[in-house]
Amino acid sequence: MRFLSKIFLIVLISHLSQAFLFAQVQTAVVKGIDAKATYRLSNDYTGPSKFLTISENDVDLNMVDATRSPKQLWKFVQEDDGKFRMVNMSDEEKYLDVTKRSDVYAVVMAEPGDRSEQTWSFVTQKDGKLRFLNTFAGDNRSLDVYKNGDVYSVVVGYTGDYSGQAWTLTKVTK
């Protein structure tokens, strides 16, 4: 009987841990961005359980299932011109950056610099979701996601009515 009680307790703790994690993941559309808060970013294409995450190489970005990793936690640093920079909590010395590779605008993490590749603005869409625009890539391109095999890769693609460009910010801290 004690053996079954221990197994029950282990299973219960495991489920409570998962419930706690997903309770933090509930989506909430943010009207404005609070520079003091920490967020997780999801979009309509990958759904509410996958979040913008720095990959294992600490450079590339993907959409990955919810974890407790700081690689899924983001802050927005306000610039004087009203734009902002996106910094990840796993390495506050790097910003979300755009680099052009052939005809593709890749999204990477990079050292801070006074470059338009690291400045972003957002537009609130009619459903309250956010569209992120990069200064370097221009207004006709937006932060987007596409599926490459089993991986959801992050790029700056042509702006359109695409679910990968409809972002939700979930506030994790105040």
CATH of domain 2-173: 2.80.10.50
Segment 128-154, tens digit of pLDDT:
899 999 999 999 999 999 999 999 999
* pLDDT surpasses 70 at 56: yes
d(CA 173, CA 68) in angstroms, rounded, equals: 13
d(CA 21, CA 119): 31
Helices vs. strands in the chain: H and E counts, helices first: 1, 12
What are the residues whose beta carbons fall under 8 Å from the beta carbon of 166, sequence distance 6 or more? 43, 44, 45, 125, 127, 129, 130, 131
Q: What is residue 173's predicted lDDT score, i.e. its pLDDT? A: 86
The pTM is what?
Answer: 0.80
Chain segment 77-105, per-residue pLDDT in tens: 999 898 999 999 999 899 999 999 888 89
| Domain map (residue ranges) of the chain | 2-173
* Bridge partners, 98 (sequence order): 107
Token couple for 95: 């910003």
